C-alpha cells in the first residue's frame, strides 16, 4: 500500500522547467521502461584510490499503455521500436528525481534517427517518473574491480517530434 502512495506522489510532481521540450514540439509516443541500469565497479576518477560504481548502460523493455512490449532501450542511449523506428539520444539537461532512490529525470535531443516507425520521427526524448536504478552506495572496492551489478528501474519515456 505504501509503495502505491509513493508512486502516486512521484507521478503528481511537475517536471522541472529545464526539462521542457520546445513549445511547438508534439508528443508522438509514450512508453514505460522496465529493466535495469548496469554499473561497473571501477577506480574513482578523483585518483584518491577509491572505487565507485560507474554507469555502463540501460537494458529495458518498452511497454505501451496496454502493457504490450513495443520496443527496447539500451546503450547509446538508444530506443528501438518493434515497428522499425530507432532514435539515439544526446543529453541536453537533467534534474534530480523527486524520489531520492531513483535515477535522474532527463531531456535528450535526437542525435540520430532511422527507420519508418514512430521512434524514427523523434526529435526529443524525456525520461520522467523514474523509480529505482541508482548506483549502489557501497560494495565497490579494489577486490571486486570490474564487477558488474544491475539495479532494477522503471521510467516513463516521452518521445516528441520537431516543432
Query: What digits encode the pLDDT tens for the residues 84-135?
Result: 999 999 999 999 999 999 999 999 999 999 999 999 999 999 999 999 999 9
For the whole prediction, is pTM greater than 0.75? yes
* 6 pLDDT tier (thresholds 50, 70, 90): very low
Model confidence pLDDT, tens digit, residues 42-56: 987 766 678 999 999
Cell matching residue 152? 532494477
Q: What is the pLDDT of residue 9?
A: 41
Residue 7 has pLDDT above 50, yes or no: no
CA distance 89 to 126: 10
* 12 pLDDT tier (thresholds 50, 70, 90): low
Cell matching residue 106? 532527463
Average pLDDT, the chain: 90
Residue 33 has pLDDT above 90, yes or no: yes
Q: What is the b/e burial string over 128-148, where b = at least 16 CB atoms within 10 angstroms of the residue's CB?
A: bbbbbbbbeeeebeeeeeeee
Amino acid at each position: 500500500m505504501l509503495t502505491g502512495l509513493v508512486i502516486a506522489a512521484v507521478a503528481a510532481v511537475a517536471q522541472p522547467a529545464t526539462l521542457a521540450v520546445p513549445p511547438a514540439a508534439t508528443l508522438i509516443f509514450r512508453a514505460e521502461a522496465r529493466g535495469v541500469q548496469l554499473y561497473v565497479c571501477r577506480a574513482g576518477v578523483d585518483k584518491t584510490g577509491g572505487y565507485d560504481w560507474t554507469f555502463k548502460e540501460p537494458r529495458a523493455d518498452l511497454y505501451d499503455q496496454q502493457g504490450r512490449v513495443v520496443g527496447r532501450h539500451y546503450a547509446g542511449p538508444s530506443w528501438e521500436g518493434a515497428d522499425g523506428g530507432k532514435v539515439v539520444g544526446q543529453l541536453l539537461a537533467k534534474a534530480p528525481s523527486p524520489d531520492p532512490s531513483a535515477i535522474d529525470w532527463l531531456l535528450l535531443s535526437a542525435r540520430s534517427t532511422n527507420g519508418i516507425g514512430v521512434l524514427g520521427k523523434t526529435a526529443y526524448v524525456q525520461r520522467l517518473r523514474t523509480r529505482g536504478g541508482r548506483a549502489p552506495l557501497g560494495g565497490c572496492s579494489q577486490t571486486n574491480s570490474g564487477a558488474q551489478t544491475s539495479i532494477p528501474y522503471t521510467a516513463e519515456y516521452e518521445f516528441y517530434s520537431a516543432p
